[in-house]
Amino acid sequence: MADDVWLVVGLGNPGPSYARTRHNIGHLVADELAARTGAKWKQSKQVKAEVIETRISGLRTVLAKPRAYMNESGGPVSGLLKFFKLDPANLVIVHDELDIDFGVLRCKFGGGDNGHNGLKSLRKSLGTGEYYRVRFGVGRPPGRQAPADFVLNEFSAAERKDLPFAVDRTADAVESLLTDGLESTQGKYNS
């Protein structure tokens, strides 16, 4: 994996009203990775995304946050892959996952969309689901709350206390995936 250029995309929704919601965990992790490199986000002129070209653990990496709503993420991600001449096998998507408890991570390659609108959009635009995923558990909604409402709400007070640690750990998992590969990362971070 060490010789490749990587595209790491944090999924989320644009705008301040969504900034601290469960659905924007990908943006929070991308911001943490950006902070670690000291680089600043720039609006891409080619696609609807904020982009940083940097190095993570010595590897050429493009960090990105699509500036489209979650269910339209595929277009910007597809555009970034084309612009940087990358294959989906060099793509890492960081996203929220309802079927995993809060803060639990699962890293994998490929798979279905599990009802996630961002992943559905990616599959439609890329024509494949064969890319790396760092899935951050946000848990199931309480009672009869609709999943869409749940992920568009902010984290609970208890979750917010643990959120900085969880975001930091997720960024560590992304770095591990790039440098150590999937199997090693799964052994360290999959709970």
Which residues participate in the annotated binding site?
18, 69, 71, 117
136 - beta bridge partners? 96, 105
**Distance separating alpha carbons of residues 7 and 4, to the nearest angstrom:** 10
**Distance separating alpha carbons of residues 187 and 191, to the nearest angstrom:** 9
Q: Indicate left, alpha or beta for 85 from its phi (over 0: left) and psi (-120 to 50: alpha).
A: left
**Distance separating alpha carbons of residues 161 and 159, to the nearest angstrom:** 5
Alpha carbon distance, N-terminus to C-terminus of the chain: 23
Q: DSSP labels for 119-175?
A: HHHHHHHHS---SEEEEEE--PPSTT--HHHHHTSBPPHHHHHHHHHHHHHHHHHHH
Binding residues for tRNA, as ranges, are 18, 69, 71, 117
Q: Which two tokens stand for residue 100?
A: 């995993």
Active-site residue set: 23
Measured between alpha carbons, how far is residue 32 from residues 28, 40, 74, 166 in Å? 6, 11, 22, 11
